[in-house]
Structure 1
Amino acid sequence: MDPSDRYHYHVIRRALDHIDAAQTPLSLEALAARMDMSPAHFQRVFSRWVGVSPKRYQQYLALGYAKTLLAENFTTLATADAVGLSGSGRLHDLFLTWEAMSPGDFAKGGAGLTIHWGTFMSPFGPVIAMGTGRGLCGMGFTSEMGDDAAYADLARRWPKATYHNTPDRIRPWVDAALSMKGDARLHMIGAPFQLKVWEALLTIPSGHVTTYSEIATAIGSPKAVRAVGTAVGRNPVSWLIPCHRALRKSGALGGYHWGLPVKRALLAWEGAREDAGQAAS
């Protein structure tokens, strides 16, 4: 992410805080004044980041937007054979090469595994990313829980692994993931049931959502809705494995491990860019 993107993110982060705190939608002029920017400059910066105007984005951030998504952009994960633990998944315009750790290795709690980690800037604030020699195994947003808590949350999933703060070892994969360009590899470490759920999440297109019950049906366990919800919450690689696209049947957001404000922002960002792309085509 180049320096201008970092600057724009900090502007947008402050704007999103004001939007979330407001009882009613804020005008362009009001938002720009709070950012100490002219309306024209703020509109350009905001639209560059998200692809739509501040006014339009506030519509996507509305709490009822999840129900709209469920009604209009619902994705049915029709068959269990769409879920396999090998091959590749596609998210946005990014190719992800997927590799799963064997159940036996998972049971060892990461013993003998070296995990490199570092803190990086994303469109949604700082993220802690972790990876083995085979690919990224963890990515968590820190804006809601803080850096230390996010690191501890990821690290305790593989308690017997050896950790090194060596971000350059995983930077190419992280850069590819955050720019949605290039080749990002995933080395997923989880129980077999979790791996099935996580790969099912990869089949949900950007700008679309599905439900926990649909995921349960897709992996061949239609009665395991609660277990699916738990596995979704245990997804260690946020954004790339899009657990934020899983909603309750009612249209409620459900939980999000890295904070509901982040989940709302992710859905709004993806929906806005999806609609902007359709309008441009």
Structure 2
Amino acid sequence: MTTHVVLGGNGVVGRETIAALRAGDHEVRAVSRTPSRSEPGITRVAADLRDATSATDALRGADVAYLTVGLPYSTTVWRRDWPVIVRNAIDGCLAAGAHLVYFDNVYAYGRTDAPMTASTPIRPTSRKGALRAELLRMLDAARDEHGLEVTVGRSADFYGPGAATSAFNLFAIDRADAGKPPMWLFDANQPHSMTYTPDVGAGLAVLGTDDRARGLTWHLPTAPALTGEQYLALVSGGRLAHRTMSHGMMRLGGLFASTARETLEMDYQYTSPYRFDSTAFERTFDVAPTPYTEGIARSLGYAAAKV
């Protein structure tokens, strides 16, 4: 039996990956710093992936590992922790002989006017992008020098039920649920792709279970981009006004919230077209992304139902 290990099992992407693997009747080991109770088909394991021994122990016996860890949105934290976590995941996978499925974002592409594909050049234009590019180089070196089998699954900005770290959830879904006007960042007239988190999890599960995916970089299923105005209209349903957060408002917010400060260097993602093309994945594996009407409705329903 294949042993699937999800690193970051408590985060939204980890949870969705576990759900997709279980839907395929796979046994899963879910690794997190503070695991919840195990359940049928899911063994919960405590580990700190910043500690090499802890990471290696968590990956012992793994056939496929999924690195879905999320970190606080801070360049300082990312520079301190991401290289350590990725190095420990690499070493643990090499020791176990495991295939590593690495969940990535688009920051390493940097500014680009063309639709993003898996062959878009890595040309970061931000501090966070440079760090993500460094992690990709680490994975490439482990593959070329030590034989690591690694597959990369990349998403656009994600949103979805319980996606607490998503900007769209924070500024649009959660605000609408609270009866406040949903907001978009900087320019609501620009097209901007968003990936639905259940599609992320299902896509990562495919990468870990379908031999056609192995060793390549894939864009996970993502519906064609809408504009910020169109997304906010879906959220509000015509019942709430909506508005755009300006750079000035974000800078003011940055005086009180670090997330606002950290978002400013990524403003190019909202001030120019941000199109993410997942056609190759969809055609190869015969899947379709969840339409925004459905994904936003489910996200709103989840927010309304939470205690």
- Using the size of structure 1 for normalisation, the TM-score is 0.30
- Using the size of structure 2 for normalisation, the TM-score is 0.28
